[in-house]
Each structure stands twice: as structure tokens, then as C-alpha cells.
Structure 1
Amino acid sequence: MLSPSRGHESHGKEADGRQVTAFRDGPTGRALALLKAMRWDDGSMGRQQLRGTDDLTRDFAGGKVAMLLGSPSTYGAYAAKFRGRPDVYGQAPLPSEGEKSTLLGGGVAVVSPKADRAQRSAAAKWIDFFYLRPKYDPALAAERTAQVAADKNPAGVPGLPFYDAKVSGPATAAERKHSNVPLKNFTPYLNSLATTRYVVEPPVAAQELYAALDSAVQAVLTRESADPDTELAKADRRIGPALERSQR
């Protein structure tokens, strides 16, 4: 049985006066205590820590790791880069405490600030054609998926729709006609999409917050003597100045 560890809080203020909380009471401490127990009590975290995504995906494809956390794109590397078996791959929503929620991610398309008006217009058209249109244009979605499948690469890997079902639905259906991935293995993940709460990154000092928490996670996974409360207190002290600077 795990004993919940105390959470810690750091506060700053946004421009409109709302409070920004870095660490909330409860879940952060309990999650860190759980990671420590999985590492040192039951060994389910394994003995090798601080490895990169490719290291884990390689071992996952080779049957050396039973489960890992990733995004839908993990399947591409698993199947194409590391030759994992599609029939034994499964994807489900990330377990969470209380309300089912997950952090959103994505890519950013950047246009040079030195670009003139014609270049900016051309860039916007390209971004729409390359990134956005396949998500709402069934014909282009089918064409792109068929091309990828013809090249023997994973095609039509399920993911979170960019638009609502009315817009994304026809494009997704067209894409799946040419998909070469085991769609039934993604069923738990796909069934969770409509009921999951999607959370954006912290609006203030997000990267500093991640860095502070990274240190706490690394500590409990690499040092058996590390105390979750103590490591969260250290992280709290690290993030405090960053939050203060961001509010000036």
C-alpha cells in the first residue's frame, strides 16, 4: 500500500490577477511516490533509467518492455524503424487519477518575420495544403494515406482529430480505407477520445516547470534514498523565481 505524499504549491500572478499554481496538493506527490514504489519496491519501472524515447521504443518492439507511455505516432517508429510486430501492438488512453485527462501536444509551423506579403501568403497556403487539408479533405486524405501505404510505411495511424467530427469524420473514413495498421488494436484509445478532457500546457513558465519536475522524477528513479516530499520541495524552490520573473 502506498502512502500519499504531500503536494507543494508555488504561486505567481498572471496579468489579469489570476493565480498560477505550479504544484497542487495531492496528485503530484502521490504520482511521485507511485513512481518510486514502482522503481524500488516491485521493480516494474526496470533498472535502467534516463533513457530516450528511441531506446524505449526499440526495447518495446523487441519484447523487452511490456508497456510505455507515448503518443499515437509511437506506432510509426515501433513498426517501421524498429520492426515491431503490428499484431501484438495495442494502444489505450493514459491512466489518470480522478477525471480522465491528458496533455495536448502538437507541432508549430513557423514563417520568417522577414518574409514579405507574397511569401507569407504562399506559406499560409502551403501550411493548409500540407498540414491541414488532409484533415478535412477526404480526397486528399485518401490520396496521402494510399501513397504512404504504397511505400510500405505505417499509413492511417489513428490520432486525435484536429477538427470536430462533422469536419474530420469524412476525411478519417477516407483515410481508413487505405490504412495498413491494425485499427482494432487502437479501439480502447479511440473509444476514449470523446470522453477525455484535453489540457493545454501551463500558461506561465511551462518549460521551467517541466525542468523542475524532471529533476524530482529523476531523483526518485535513480536514488532509492530520495524522498518525494523533499524532491518536490526542491522543485518548488526552483520554479518559484521563474514564476515571479514571468509576471513582471
Structure 2
Amino acid sequence: NRSWNCGAEGDTDDEGVLRLRARQMRNFVATLMLSQGVPMISHGDEFARTQRGNNNAYCQDNELSWVRWPEGQGEGAGEDEELLEFVRAMAALRRDHPVFRRRRFFHGRPVEGTHDELSDIAWFTPEGKEMAQRDWDSARASALTVFLNGNAISEPGQRGERITDDSFLLMFNAAPKALDFVVPVDHGRQWQVVVDTARDRPLAAGSGRKVRAGDRLTLEDRSMTVLQRPA
């Protein structure tokens, strides 16, 4: 197991630790829901059922492993309700965009037949430069950007039709300090922020900041931001 208590062991009333723990939950939910393949969500993950860090609680027939299901509207209000709202938003984003639900592996290059010169996936440093081998090999690397090309989905739809979607930039900052990210050039002129895990609640539709290629975005420490470009 590889885990971290965010600065305090067990229950705590330290506001900084609690905020960081909540942010890490949002980071993991967003990473999972926007990854390819079937999201493996355990019952209760959506409202912060943590088992207090015990991932092997098969022999714990007590409050450690029990699920406290909300009994009615308003039940579990507070941080757990905020996480549930965020999980719903991530599930909706995944449902609405087939670029997150591809049935075939990425090619890592332009896809024949899509008439798009951009690769179906690309990886960038925070400076907006496409990653080289030395960047992958760097032991100090703690941030990157992933480009998902909605115009380069190789598999057809259920009726043989071509699938097209919006494109996305997924920016990850795992560093313990805020970092500036440059929006890559040549991969779309204008983008809009649709996810920011540094926020307690999901962004309302259309309310995120709009940025252009070459602009800088500051990501808070240990946070993730998602940008969307219309097809």
C-alpha cells in the first residue's frame, strides 16, 4: 500500500489537513472518471466512505467497514455532500463525452480517416512543450498536461457512423506548491475551464475561465484542472 495522511494521523480538526484530504478525494475521482476503461468505484466512495485508510477490511464487521447510506434529503450534508455533487458532475462529464470512453487503445499519432493532423493523445510539460524522453525519465517531475483529441476517435458508433467529440486538456499538478501551466499552442485556439479540483464544488456549466493557446493558468498545489474545446 502507498498512502498519505495529509499531515495528521486519523481524525483531526485541522482545517488545512481536512481541506487537503477533500481535495485529494476530488483529484482521485476526477482522474478515475476521466480515464479510459470502466471506472472501478467501490460502494460509498461517492460520499467519502474511507474505511479510515484500511483497504482490506474484510474482517472488520463494525463501523470501519459498514456503509452509512443517506436516509433522506439533506442527510450527510457538508463535505460528504460536496463530494457527492462532484462525483455526479464527473460522471455526467464522462457520460456526455465519448473521448473519455474509447473502446480502442490510443495510437499516439494522427489517426487515418479522421482528417486531423493532431495525434489522438499528446503529453506536455507544464511549459506547454511536448514531452521528450528526458521529461518522462525525470525523477522530480510532478506535473503534466494530457491532450485528448475528440476529432481523432478511431472506432465507429453502433451504426457505423463516425464519432466526433470535443477535445480536452487535463492538467495535473501533484507538486506541494502552485505551478503555472501554459496552454499548448497548435492544439486549439480557445479553451474553457470545466473542472478545477481546487474548488470545493463543481463549476456551473459555462462559468469557467476562458483561455487561449499560449496563456498561463495557475494550478493550486495538488490539484487538477480540465479544459474543454468545442469540436
What is the TM-score with the length of structure 1 in the denominator?
Answer: 0.23
Which structure carries more helix by proportion?
1
Larger Rg: 1
Which structure carries more strand by proportion?
2
What is the TM-score with the length of structure 2 in the denominator?
Answer: 0.24
